Structure 1
Amino acid sequence: MTEFLRHLPKIELHCHLEGSMSSATVRALAARHAADHSAVWDGEIPDHFSFADFPDFGRQYLFGLGLLRDEEDLARATDDHAAILAAQNVRYAELTTTAYSHLRVGGMAPEVYRDGLNEGRRRAAERGVTIGWVVDIPRDLEMPDETVTIEYLESGRTPDGLVGIGLGGYEVGFPAAPYADHFARATALGLHSLPHAGETEGADSVRQAVDDLGAERIGHGVRVLEDAELTKQLADTGVFCEVCPTSNSLLGVVDSLTDHPLPRMIEAGLRVSLNTDDPGWFDTDLLTELRIGSEVLGLTDADHLRLQRDALDASFAPVDVRAAIAAELAQFESDPTA
C-alpha cells in the first residue's frame, strides 16, 4: 500500500504556505535574520514541531510567520515546500497565503510580496510542481469593515497563478456572512470562492459559506454532517470538501483519527480530498495523510485513485496541466508499477 501511494500522482488543494514551513526552513530563515527563538523553544529549534495546546501552536506559528520578511524568504519557503511535494509525486498544489499578515502586519510592500510568490512558483515549476495561489482573508484578524485583502486583489499587483479567494482563521465568533461583499468583489475579478468552514464551528458556518459566499469548495467542512439537509445539498451540487485529518485531530476538531468523519462524508455522497493544512507545523505530509486514509479510515487503492481524480476535477489547474495529470493517472491505473 505504501508503495502504491508513494508512486500515485497527486494533487493537493488545502495547504497554507505559511503553515508549510518545515523545521529546516525555519532554522535557515532564523539564521538568515539572526532571529532569537528563545521565547518559543528552549535550546535549538527542534527537528520536528509539536505543541501542548493551541496557544503553544500559535506562538510557534507566529515565530515562523515573522521570518517571512522579504522576497527571498517567500521564494525560499515556497521552493522548500515544493521540494517536499515533488518527492511525493505531487504534480499540482493550490497553496493558500495570507496577504494581510504580510502587507498589514509585516509591512511588506505589495510588489515584494507578489515577486516573492512568483519566484517561488517559478522554482517549484523547475521541480515539476505547478502551484496555484489562493489569497485568504484571516477572519479573526481582518474584520469585515477592513478591505486590505480585497483591495490588494483588485490592485493588479497579484502573483501569477492566482485562482481564488479564501476565508481562514478561527470561525467561532467570526461568521462568514459579513464577508459576502468581499467575495462578490473577488469573484467579479474571476477568482473562485474557496472559504474555510465547518472546522471549529458547526454546519451553519458551512451554510453561510455556500449561501453567502458562493463557495465552490469548502476548506475542511467536516462538521457539515451535523445537518443532513445541508449535507445532501452539498452532495447534490458537488460542492467539494478539502479534508485534513491530522490537522483536525491535533486541533481538537475530532477526538482522534479513528473518529474522523471522512468515511461518513464519502458514504453521504460528498466529494472530498485528503490534504495537509499546515504540514510543517503538524509534522505531516500528503503521503502521510493518504496512509491515514488507508490504515485508519479504510480507503482502498481504488478509493485513492478516485479521490485524486476528484481533486483534479475540483482544482483550478491550467488546462494543459490538468490534461497531463489526467493522462498520468490513467497510465498509473493501468500499471501502478511502471
Structure 2
Amino acid sequence: VVWLVVVAIRGSGEALRKAMVQFRVFRRRFAQASAIVVPVPTDGSTVDDWGVREEERRSAPFLAEARDVEVWLEYFRDLRGEDGDGASTTKGNDDDDDDLVWFGLNNNGRSFASGAGEAPRIVEVLGQNLRPVEVLDEDDKAEVVGSTADASRAEAAAGVLDAQRKFYDALTTGDLTSMESVCSEDGAAEVSEVIELGGRIDGWKTCLAEDARPSGMIVSGSDVLVVSDTEAFSTCIEFPPNAGVESGATLLAVQRWGRNSSAGDDDDDDWELKLHQTIPWSTISKAGGTLRCDCRGCVALTRGKDRRTFGG
C-alpha cells in the first residue's frame, strides 16, 4: 500500500483516546483516501490504551505505529516552539508536552492543515484535503466491524444500520413523522454553534418539501462504530439523484447516534439520531461547504474566499 497523506497527532494516552474516536469513525474513509494516521504518545501509551480494537485495525489499514517516538516528539516540539520539558518558548503560551497537537502532510511533504488543543473535525478535513483516490461505487456493501468478536456489539451495530436506513427513507420520501421519530429531541452543539453565530436553520418541514428533498438518492458503503452501549457513529456515501457516477458528485455523510440504555432494556433500546453531517467528497475537487442537521433541521456552512476552513 502506498500512502499519499499522513496525519500525525501527539498527546497523552487519555487525550489520544478521546481524539481517536473520530479517526476510528472514518477508518474506512482514510483507507479510501490512501491516508494514514500516526498517533504519537507522550506517556508511552499504546494502541490498546487508545481504545482502538483489533478488528477495526484489520478492517481498514488506517493506523500506523510511530517508530522512534522521541524523534517524533522532538519534531512536534520544534513545530510548537517548546523546550525539552514541553514548556513553550513563546511568551504568553503555557502549552505543555501533553497538549494535543496535530498536522497533516501531503505526498509532497507539505503541510495542508494543523491544530492544537483539540482534535480536528475529521469530516471537514476529509472534504477539503483527504479526498478518495478512486471513484466511489454505488454498489459498495455495508460493513459491520466486530461481528465475530462481540455479539452484543454486533447487535448494536445492526440496530444503528437499521436506524440509518429509517433516516434515509424519511429523508428521500419526505416523511416528516418518521424523521421526527428517528431524531433525538436534544439539539446538537455543532448545529447550535452555527445558529448562535447568526446562521440560518431550515426546519425539517422545509428540508423534506418535494422540491428540496433528495428523492431517489442512493446510499452505499455504510459502516458503524459502536463506542459504548449508548453512543455510536455511522458513515456512508451519498449519490445525489441524476448526478451520475462520472460527475463525481458524491458526498460523505456521518451520523452520531445515542440511546438511553443497552439493547434489550424495554423500550429504551432504539438508536436516536443526534447529528447528521454531509460534505462533498470526490476525486474531482475540494468541498466548498458542509451541512449539519439535528432534530431542529439543517444549517449550511460554506468555505469563504478568505478562509481555509468552513464557517463565516
- Normalised-by-shorter TM-score class: under 0.3
TM-score of the superposition, structure 1-length normalised?
A: 0.25
TM-score of the superposition, structure 2-length normalised?
A: 0.27
Higher strand share: 2
Point out which structure has higher relative CO (alpha carbons under 8 A, 6+ apart): 1
Higher helix share: 1
Bigger Rg, structure 1 or 2:
2
